[in-house]
Homo-oligomer: A and B are copies of this chain.
Amino acid sequence: MVSRDGAAIRVSSLLVDGRLLGFIFILPFFFLRLVLLPSHRGVCLRHQRRSIYTRRYRQNSCIISSESRAISRYVLRKFKTPDAGTNNLLRDGDLEGSALVDAWLDVEALLYEPAVHAVFVQHRVVPALGGVPDEKVIGESVEKLRKVLEVYEARLGERRYLAGDDVSLADLSHFPYTHYFMGMPYAAVFDAFPRVRSWWQDLMARPAVQRVAAMMDGQ
């Protein structure tokens, strides 16, 4: 693991989750480095074993993507197991299930992460660069997050997870920046939403998530 960037962690946490767990042991260079190394500028999806070990990437012979949710979808489709069941984190082949995963992935990308990420930047990145956090931006972002969490609280009153009764990519995609956020003083905004807290504890109880969280924390 060479990166603590949220997008890279989104992808790597999938590699550790569920049936994909094995890959972190079997293919530490074959995939994790592939995903994480190219300066976070792109990922070669049509990978070649040789190019991976030599860390050379030929753009003409592969697809380049830096969008972590698209990479996550690709990884899940590439390494899906025949008996996917609840490990079908995209609900591929399930018309309504996949629509729900798509919808909540979009909510996470367009509403949830912008709020959490803005706080992360002000609280962690700006001071690291010698600047002073903009408290106004933090306050506005926490307020935006509170409104999103109201929607989540209602949704999680209907279903155990965002896209249904089983965990999906839509849930796991929240992991990287939420884990960082929970270590900040603003995490108290979650206290008013018991179902969201319970959902988050469920996600954090997953062994794969715990492994990646430990890596994020430098353990």
Contact = CB atoms under 8 A, between A and B. Distances in A.
Interface residues of A, number: 25
A73 B96 contact: no
Contacts of A78: 95
Interface string A17-29: 0000000000000
Interface stretch (A62-70, A124-132, A141-149, A192-200): A62-70
A74 B45 contact: no
A100 B74 CA distance: 9
B46 A74 contact: no
Contacts of A105: 70
Tell me the interface secondary structure of chain A in the complex.
helix
Contact of A70 (B45, B74, B99): B99
B95 A77 contact: yes
Interface stretch (A48-56, A106-114, A178-186): A106-114
A153 interface: no
A213 B128 CA distance: 48
A103 interface: yes
Interface string A87-120: 0000000011011101101110110000000000
A99 B18 CA distance: 21
A99 B63 contact: yes
A46 B100 CA distance: 11
Contacts of A67: 102-103, 106-107, 110
Contacts of A103: 63, 65-67, 70-71
Given A66-B103, A67-B110, A70-B102, 20 more contacts: A45-B96, A45-B99, A46-B96, A65-B99, A65-B100, A67-B102, A67-B103, A67-B107, A69-B102, A70-B99, A70-B103, A70-B105, A71-B99, A73-B99, A74-B99, A74-B102, A77-B99, A78-B95, A109-B109, A109-B110
